[in-house]
A and B are shown apart, each in its own frame.
Chain A
Amino acid sequence: MTGAGSPSLPLHRGLPPGALPLRRGLPLVALCFVAMIVAVGAAPFIGSTPIRLAHVFSRSMPFADNVDAQIFFIARLPRALAAALVGGTLAAAGVIFQGLLRNPLATPYTLGVSAGASLGAMVVMTFGAAWSVGGVASASLAGAGLAVLVVYWLARARHSGLSTTVLLLAGVTLNAFFSALILFVQYLSDFAQTYRAIRWLMGDLDVASFAPILAALPLVLAAFVVFAWLARPLNLISLGADAAASRGVDVERAQRLAFFSASLATGAAVSVGGPIGFVGIIVPHLVRRLVGSDHRLVLPASTFFGAAFLIACDAVARTILAPLELPVGIITALIGGPFFLWLLIRRR
């Protein structure tokens, strides 16, 4: 059985290399990339206070007197970039978790990462005096890390490999348990602390500087290198673990890498914007409708489209009740609920 078909078969001309499904999807990935760039470029000009492009980049005025430039560079551009980072990361992590658990309804928060991150953030907001390194963001990252280790340890216990069923059960259980601990910490905190905690839980992108973005970036970039490697193994894992193994995938290694990379990326994203919901499930679903299921297309397209999507949601959040600026998590949740219903009705 070499490349040539056997003589008894009808002669066929052979598909051109352009017929490779991967190549046919690339323009759509490029389209998502363009959407992201347009969103990053346009978002800083959308807001309750109009600003003029000529003033923003004007050299004649010192920065301290240039209100337009201050709004652009301190308030809006970091916010747009934070939305891009968080949206792209959550969407990509959603794709990885869905592939890992072989379940299109999984989210980046299914396995307990966000509950851990929230607990970490709550603890520091309430008893925070002793925690000085990096504040709430680093505490939420530490909480996420704790949750990841607990879930991993549970999924490994009594199994030679990594059981995705146990992974799912452990994640759901840990979510419930950490939620109870969050309520307990809330009970111990005063009025101002509770107010701040609830605001954090809503998910907000009001970062006010580039520092939180730069702090999260190394972890996110490292995770994306692993994501890129995972794309093809996840395609095969879609066929089933045994089928993937028989085609040469080291399934357990792929599962382990998927779990850790997506969890840490999620933790980093949550440390920037709080537990913003639904991005990690809405975006991959829309993107799969566009490009199909090949993870080598779904991952980059979801990353770019997720970035554009969250920037757009944030622009809505900032303007819909102007001059009030809503937390973006409210907008994504308002979109996410009906979206889930639509999915249910469509699938039946």
Chain B
Amino acid sequence: MPLSAARLSFGYPPAALRPRDASPLAVNDVSLAIDHGALVGILGPNGSGKTTLLKLLAGILTPRAGTVTLDGRDVSTMPTRARARRIAVVPQETHLAFDYSVLEIALMGRYPHLGPFEVEGPRDLAAAETGLEATGTGRLASRMFQNLSGGEKQRVIIASALAQLDDGEASRVLFLDEPTASLDLKYQLEVAALVRRLHDEQHVTIVLSTHDLRFAASVCTEVVLLSAGRVLAHGMPRDVLTPAAIAELYEIDVSAAPLVIT
């Protein structure tokens, strides 16, 4: 299995003023195996540990216990730049401290491909352009990022992540944290279409977190149900997303909320 997690646990440090309160584990003994080319949705209610699990799998957070391996190599001990050439993360929202053009943002994905004082060359420009074209943002290249709509920003950040993964190396993983959460319906559909297209056209494993069941069911090839940091179920959407499982996951009476399942 290209990407696998073995008995992963993580807890955030307790609040500074109340150090005696033991914080519950945000991710508790999670084991996962994700196949190459899969499009995995991690589903769960708010606070179930989706984002934390994503950051652990991506190597941004170091697990308290357990390991994440990519093609057998421990992600937490991979050199950061080597890791970044194979694993990219798109956060839920991006707030810039300084405004950059869309092309500059896309070129920033090339960071792990350049030496400390090296500047971007034609190869990097091509990778950035490819990323922008793949996300339909090529025409925005000279626009400033902060003037874009939420959906456009999301797509530009995805373009930057694609430029980051644009490399000959074997398996690459793109993580998307709540790609639709802060977007209205139009952009949700746009991003859903984009994710599906990326999965079909780019040879990248995609792992995304979401609490949108409809989105997960329509886009993902497999889903992981996460509740209080533990895996409830993992499998094909139609096998996993049963009314009983959803009721347990969200602690709701599904028959009383017919809109949830489609």
Q: Which residues of A are in contact with B by a Cβ distance under 8 Å?
A: 1-6, 8-10, 12, 14-15, 17, 19-22, 98-99, 102-104, 158, 160, 228-229, 232, 235-240, 242-243, 245-250, 288, 292-294, 296
Contact = CB atoms under 8 A, between A and B. Distances in A.
A104 B141 CA distance: 24
A20 B97 contact: no
Contacts of A232: 111, 114, 116
Contacts of B217: none
Given A15-B129, A232-B111, 17 more contacts: A1-B165, A1-B166, A5-B129, A12-B133, A12-B138, A21-B104, A21-B107, A22-B119, A98-B98, A229-B117, A238-B97, A242-B91, A246-B60, A246-B87, A247-B109, A248-B80, A288-B98
A293 B125 contact: no
A191 to B, nearest CB: 47
Contacts of A249: 80, 111
B168 A293 contact: no
Given A1-B165, A232-B111, A104 B97 contact: yes
Given A102-B97, A294-B100, A248 B125 contact: no
A26 to B, nearest CB: 10
Across the A-B interface, the 4 shortest Cβ-Cβ residue pairs:
A248-B84, A248-B112, A102-B97, A293-B98
Question: Which of B80, B94, B109, B134 has the largest number of chain A CB atoms within 10 A?
Answer: B80
A247 B100 contact: no
B56 to A, nearest CB: 12
B123 interface: yes
Contacts of B42: none
9 contacts: A2-B166, A14-B129, A15-B125, A99-B98, A232-B114, A243-B94, A246-B58, A247-B84, A248-B112
Interface stretch (B182-190, B198-206, B224-232, B238-246): B198-206
> Is the interface on chain B under 10, 10 to 19, 20 to 34, or 35 or more residues?
35 or more
B104 A294 contact: yes
B125 A6 contact: no
A293 B120 contact: no
Interface of B: 13, 16, 55, 58, 60, 80-81, 83-85, 87-89, 91, 94-101, 103-105, 107-109, 111-112, 114, 116-117, 119-123, 125-127, 129-130, 133-134, 138, 141, 162, 164-166, 168, 172, 201-204
A138 to B, nearest CB: 33
A250 B80 CA distance: 7
A249 B81 CA distance: 7
Given A12-B129, A249-B80, A243 B104 contact: no
A248 B89 contact: no
Given A5-B133, A21-B104, A246-B89, A238 B120 contact: no
B104 A292 contact: yes
A5 to B, nearest CB: 5
Nearest to B87: A246
Contacts of A98: 97-98
A3 B129 CA distance: 9
A247 B103 contact: no
B111 A247 contact: yes
B80 A293 contact: no
A242 B55 contact: yes
B80 A6 contact: no
Contacts of A293: 98-100, 104
Contact of A240 (B85, B94, B101, B130): B94
A240 B203 contact: no
Given A292-B101, A294-B104, A1 B130 contact: yes
A22 B97 contact: no
B168 A2 contact: yes
A1 B162 contact: yes
A237 B94 CA distance: 11
Given A4-B130, A236-B111, A247-B164, A20 B98 contact: no
Question: Which of A9, A235, A239, A296 has the largest number of chain B CB atoms within 10 A?
Answer: A239
Given A103-B97, A292-B101, A242 B120 contact: no
Given A240-B94, A248-B112, A3 B89 contact: no
A98 B97 CA distance: 9
Contact of A1 (B83, B85, B87, B202): B202
A237 B80 CA distance: 15
Contact of B60 (A15, A20, A242): A242
Contacts of A9: 133-134
A102 B96 CA distance: 8
B87 A228 contact: no
A3 B123 contact: yes
Contacts of B202: 1, 6
Contacts of A242: 55, 60, 89, 91
Contacts of A4: 130
A102 B87 CA distance: 25
